[in-house]
Amino acid sequence: MLDLKAVASDFESYERRLARRGEGAVAALAPVKPLAARRRELNVLLEKQKKEQADANAKMRTLAKGDQAAMDAARAALRALGDVAKKTEAELGEVEAEIERLLLLVPNPPHDSVPTGKDEHDNVVVRTWGEKKAYDFKPRPHWEVGEALGILEWQQAAKLSGSRFTILKGAAAKLERAIISFFADVHTSRGYLEILPPYLVTGETMTGTGQLPKFEEDLFKTTNTPPMYLIPTAEVPVTNMHRDEIFEADALPVSYCAFSPCFRAEAGSAGRDTRGIMRQHQFHKVELVKFAKADESYDQHEKMVDDAAEVLRRLGLHHRISLLCTGDMGFASAKTYDIEVWCPGQEAYREISSVSNCEDFQARRIRVRYRGEGGKPRLAHTLNGSGVAVGRTIVAILEQYQQADGSVIVPEPLRPYMGGLERITAQKFPRGVER
């Protein structure tokens, strides 16, 4: 969330910065302008009214003690001034509460280094790792590879849960567990503390990281009152762990990694990626979260991108890193890099991780701070990124490591987690006849 006082005192500056995100961001901020002007008026008026109260109080002290009529009149006048000031204070509180409500719907202004653009076509590739593999056959998309191997099942999943769910069988289920353990081991070896967070959280927790109120339609929630929400990413509970806390300066940065299932209604993506396991209502991810000092967060951002990409380098998966333009960034982010893995069966790079610096946008909501110069508390910066999406790693492995005979080579770092399995071949599983 943006700083109410900063926005109210320099509305035009925030309007210019948000304009780089597009008309929607400016429109979200627009209702704040008249309220910010009214807030300034009320603050000036309240200051004047309090001065009048102080003057009246001082005048009353000069009255002769025996002049009861004058004293009564002075007290009545002072009470009247107090009543007027209370009404002004009440209106000011209402205006500030409405500004804060509206600011919950306003995205984070982009960092100056973020390129201006409309959508993913305006993103900038900053570096590439590895080379596209050459095949002496036409590579197939992962859904064809997985179905032919018998390890990805959609019909039974649809019978259980509907669309956008998948059952992983045999080697695919084992591969999923192997990837999760491998990712966690790599990140903890690089200084991240492993966390296993709750998967159900409160509305306050969702608000703290920006999922509410803006994106409620994309969330799954329980029917009790108040509802609990299934997490869309471990970023939500892990970032909120330090709500209302103050770090000592030398404690930062704090780095966490957390495996969790993720649940997303995908309300805004109807018709996209309906085949395969690219976009599911339920998937697994290993998330990276950092808390950093304001003057160190962009160095930590670059490090987090490298940490996320490290697991792909070790798996030998060709990928590239793109700096997102203003029109393609997430709501809470000030700057985001996407890591995009090459999928030869789809002839496309597909996002496998987004790594974002949210600056103090989330920290202001959850009031997480650190002691800055002179011990004065200041807002921390929060960072998060996938380290990385497990299902999409399976996609990349099935497509990049597929062989002409339909089998799939298991990347060497995963073999110890899979009992030494080197190659996934076609498997048959029990299956009855539909009646």
CA distance 103 to 123: 27
**Beta carbons of 152 and 169 less than 8 angstroms apart:** yes
Nearest to 116 by CA among 22, 222, 194: 22
CB-count exposure of residue 429 (10 Å: 0-12, 13-18, 19+)? exposed
Q: Which residues are annotated as a binding site?
A: 233-235, 264-266, 287, 351-354, 386
Cis omega (within 30 of 0) for bond into 114: no
Q: Which amino acid is at 54?
A: A
The 10 Å Cβ neighbour count of residue 365 is 22
CA distance 395 to 415: 17
Q: What number of residues does the chain have?
A: 435
Q: Which residues are annotated as a binding site for L-serine?
A: 233-235, 287, 386
Q: Which residues are part of the catalytic machinery?
A: 264, 279, 351, 354, 392
CA distance 265 to 278: 14
At 198, list the tokens: 């709750």
Q: Which residues are annotated as a binding site for ATP?
A: 264-266, 351-354
- Burial code (b: 16+ CB inside 10 Å, e: under 16) for 297-330 equals bbebbebbbebbbbbbeebbbbbbbbbbbbbbbb
